[in-house]
Chains A and B, each alone.
Chain A
Amino acid sequence: MAEALKHQIEAAFDEPACATNRAKDAASRRKGCSKALTPGAAAGGCAFDGAKIALQPIVDAAHLVHAPLGCEGNAWDNRGSASSGPELYRTGFTTDLTEMDIVMGQGEKKLFRAIREVIEQQAPAAVFVYATCVTALIGDDIEAVCKAAAERFETPVIPVNVPGYVGSKNLGNRMAGEVLFKHVIGTLEPQAPGLCDINLIGDFNLSGELWQVKPLLDRLGIRVLGSISGDARYRQVAMAHRARVSMLFCAHGYVNLARKLQETYGIPYFEGSFYGISDTSDALRTICRMLADRGAPADLIPRCEALIAEEEARTWATLEPYRPRIAGRRVLLYTGGHKTWSVVSALQELGMEVVGTSMRKATPDDRGRVVQIMGTEAHMFDNMAPREMFKLLREARADVLMSGARSQFVALKARVPWIDVNQEKHEPYAGYMGMVQLVKTLDRSINNPVWADLRAPAPWEV
């Protein structure tokens, strides 16, 4: 493996701000946190997938995949990040390497020409070039090609060297963060930097969730200067170093980036979430407090409290009619995204019962928090085999499964309602209005008369 790539991976893994990493000894820290995958029993995306998820929401850039067809052909226009403007990010660009290209060693030349063509045809704000397994294996030097192309065509061309075989989606997230820090952030200065400018790191505006929160920020006069990378313009990423505070949505994927922004540009960060009522309020409070600490007008804090009081009261009033419809129903939660737990506390307040929750990607801190929310460790489990989960659901020990698409059919085939709460979901659940949306979805799903029909025996089984 190329030295540069090896260095990049080490940098992505050696993360002083990561709690899991800190808890390790020096030797295991050097090894990084990529777990060995089990052949025949592995699931999940690769590093390329992770990097693409993280960067593709930059909507005015061209995303060019330097690889044989499978990497882009099987995956383009397949993610739910919403744009308020340009649609270029949804276009699939690839060098579609053929056998001939590989045998003749024409990868680099083809890439250079493809960059030229995409810039001439689309005039993108920037081009992100992704190298995957095959291009890394044949040794294409995409850093050099990108550098030459950027100079020649006077457009930022950013190399993203993420062969799938180096590791998981999570590693890809981190490597994307490293790429942005190294090549993009700090390359442009905002015209009018403000004291209420913030960065949002690790949110991808899936189904427009960012816009469920933006009205709140708008009312407080807070501007999203840097977005990594939901509904982001390239310039928003390039100017992220001038924000006053960073809010970090997913520490697992982007804590390295948040820490570097703090160390290099003095931007303090906090980890927060806009899922659930209490977390939304906490996040708003923290943003305002941290901004005020750094010189934003002091009235920001009382204005924020007034806004929270008003929004919370209105949200609970809106949710009240749903209480009798969902109270007493049992939820099984299976997701790596521990952000969902804040949602759980709201569901519990509405009378729902959580019968189990997965702790697959949880840190010790997370674990403590779940105990706090659930009152017990009894219902925590790590992995649950599909067959086992099917049995649990088929025996009606839960009324609804909240999970990612991977276990969708385990629930549906067991004739149990399923709510998508992962990144592929089609409904936005962020902020106060998102919580209302989620409860409406739960109600609509759990109380659908079709479940009783589906569980009834066929005429010949009676």
Chain B
Amino acid sequence: MARLVHPRRALSTNPLKTSAPLGAAMAYLGIAGAVPLFHGAQGCTAFAMVHLVRHFHEAIPLQTTAMNEISAILGGGEQIEAAIENLLARAKPQFIGIASTALAETRGEDIAGELRAIMERRPDFAGLAVVHAATPDFKGGLEDGWARAVEAIITALVPAQGGATVAGQVNFLPGSHLTPAEVEEIAGMIRAFGLTPIILPDISTSLDGHLAADWSGTSTGGTPLAAIRAMANSVATLAVGEAMRPAANLLAARGVPARVFGGLTGLRATDAFVTALMELSGHEPPAIIKRDRARLTDACLDAHFQIGGLRVALAAEPDLAFGLGSGLTAMGAEIVAAVTTAGQNPNAERIPADEVIIGDLGDLERAAAAAGAQLMLTHAHGRMGAERLHLPLVRAGFPIMDRLGAQDQCRVGYRGTRAFYFEIANAVLAQSHRPRPEDFGAARIDQEFEHAPDTPPAPH
């Protein structure tokens, strides 16, 4: 267990955290025909939208109740109603996910109550599913916002009594730290065992980056509402990330037994998942899964030369930091500097480091320098610190606004772990260094022996 350290200071330098409402919006975008709606001032939405667009390189439908100085003081219930009405007319969504911002929550507004009253007095909203998650910016980060949104969806849309179970149907709750490609990879593994996953939320079909035939004002993929209602009939729930445990528990309360996997990066972590799939399906893994495992074990042999003993500085939200961190330490790397965003997630303490700072990228930079880290692993905002410390930066998490293909990064399962190990090893190999006598304290070769003594010595 790592020791959690809370630095005593008032100033946060270079935030690691992304806001909770943004995490909720991302989860809502994994529902079919969705428009996320922030209850707050319009700037909250503009910032979040720009952030999401730059990461995914996609049009992001995200709207705001546009609170003004009057609703900031008197309350914004009417703004919510007007927003739903306007969205219904313009974008024709099937689903609206509301995320409250710090502004609305500081007022202490009863948004759930307002929403109930609105839905009761507006029969014209009847065909529309509207859910609400409390996600003030002052509490938690992206991971928490995502989890609150998934909980809100389950609470509102999955019936309390399921009825008959559907053989082979499995609920899959991916955490916010999983990319669209990772969600797809894990779903593929589930399907390989002949099981049928219902994925909530499913960003692998909405935020995967695809060109549709027509323009849409809503998400262009995601979990269909009917599938969400059917979750109560599944034989099991598989959740990935400790942040998803409360959501898994909600399904357990609806009669579906749940299993939570802390992370799926690394040989043993994936083995545990495959074991669970073997139990659930009653089958041996298909040949392709066995083949992928054989490839990963071979990759471990190739990459352990670079990763063994590698001193890594890691900053991410708890689930991602735990997943990637334990994948690296399994290969002999050392997490010499670790920063995460909050201590409530049990995975924060499980990050394989002596000490985990609840802090920001300023903390990471200081700790990485002090510990002599050789590689930095965090989101793209780590770029300035990595540059100052002359460290290779491997980008993981959100946002990655300065590289393409963030949605395609896959570092889970046998295949994803293999790619991750090669990625880390290659980042080390890219720091090519040709040995020189002065590296070892030896004097340079005498000038007398040089062919052309007048030419200036090679720079080093």
Contact = CB atoms under 8 A, between A and B. Distances in A.
A164 B69 CA distance: 9
B370 interface: no
Contact of B215 (A47, A64, A91, A413): A413
Given A99-B136, A133-B103, A386 B217 contact: yes
B13 A69 contact: no
B103 A137 contact: yes
Contacts of B12: 92-96
A278 B368 CA distance: 52
Interface string A289-315: 000000000000000000000000000
B10 A111 contact: yes
Contacts of A47: 43
Given A69-B137, A73-B19, A164-B43, A137 B90 contact: no
Contacts of B47: 45, 49, 70-71, 74-75
Interface residues of A, number: 76
Given A74-B47, A386-B217, A91 B138 contact: no
Interface string B105-144: 0110000000000000000000000000000111101000
Contacts of B83: 39-40
Contacts of B40: 133, 164
A164 B41 contact: yes
Nearest to B107: A137
A40 B212 contact: no
B82 A38 contact: yes
B79 interface: yes
B381 interface: yes
Contacts of B51: 74-75, 78
A116 to B, nearest CB: 8
Interface string B10-45: 111111011111100000000000000100111111
B53 A405 contact: yes
A117 B13 CA distance: 10
A114 interface: yes
A69 B138 contact: yes
Given A40-B82, A95-B11, A166 B69 contact: yes
A90 B10 contact: no
Contact of B59 (A1, A44, A99, A413): A413
A61 to B, nearest CB: 15
Interface string B200-215: 0000000000011011
Contacts of A387: 215, 217
Interface in A53-76: 64, 67-76
A36 B340 CA distance: 40
Contacts of A405: 50, 53
Contacts of B80: 39
A117 B11 contact: yes
Contacts of B10: 95, 109-114, 116-117
Nearest to B68: A165
Interface string A20-48: 00000000000000001111111111111
Nearest to B35: A40
Contacts of A166: 68-69
B46 A73 contact: no
A286 B10 CA distance: 49
A114 B84 contact: no
A382 interface: no
Contacts of B63: 40-42
A127 to B, nearest CB: 11
A46 B15 contact: no
B86 A41 contact: yes
Interface in A82-128: 87, 90-99, 101-102, 109-114, 116-118, 121
A74 B19 contact: yes
Contact of A76 (B14, B22, B103): B14
Given A39-B80, A75-B47, A413-B215, A92 B13 contact: yes
Contact of B138 (A68, A90, A415, A454): A68
B9 interface: yes
Contacts of B215: 386-387, 390-391, 410, 413-414
B85 interface: yes
A375 B113 CA distance: 57
Contacts of A454: 211
Contacts of A424: 50
A77 interface: yes
Question: Which of the listed residues A71, A109, A111, A164 has the most CB atoms from chain B within 10 Å of its own CB?
Answer: A164
Nearest to B360: A96
Nearest to B19: A70
B396 to A, nearest CB: 17
Interface in A162-219: 163-168
Nearest to A94: B12
A137 B107 CA distance: 8
A413 B210 CA distance: 9
Contacts of B360: 96
Contact of A37 (B9, B19, B68): B68
Interface in B400-442: 401
A97 B14 contact: no
A96 B360 CA distance: 10
B215 to A, nearest CB: 4
A289 B86 CA distance: 52
24 contacts: A38-B82, A39-B82, A40-B83, A40-B85, A42-B66, A44-B42, A47-B43, A49-B46, A68-B137, A69-B18, A70-B19, A70-B102, A74-B18, A94-B11, A97-B138, A117-B10, A132-B43, A133-B72, A134-B102, A164-B43, A165-B71, A386-B215, A408-B53, A413-B215
Given A67-B137, A390-B215, 15 more contacts: A46-B46, A48-B43, A49-B46, A68-B19, A74-B48, A76-B14, A76-B15, A97-B138, A98-B138, A114-B11, A116-B10, A117-B9, A118-B11, A164-B41, A165-B67
Q: Which 6 A-B pairs have the closest CB atoms?
A: A46-B43, A40-B83, A40-B86, A113-B10, A70-B19, A70-B137
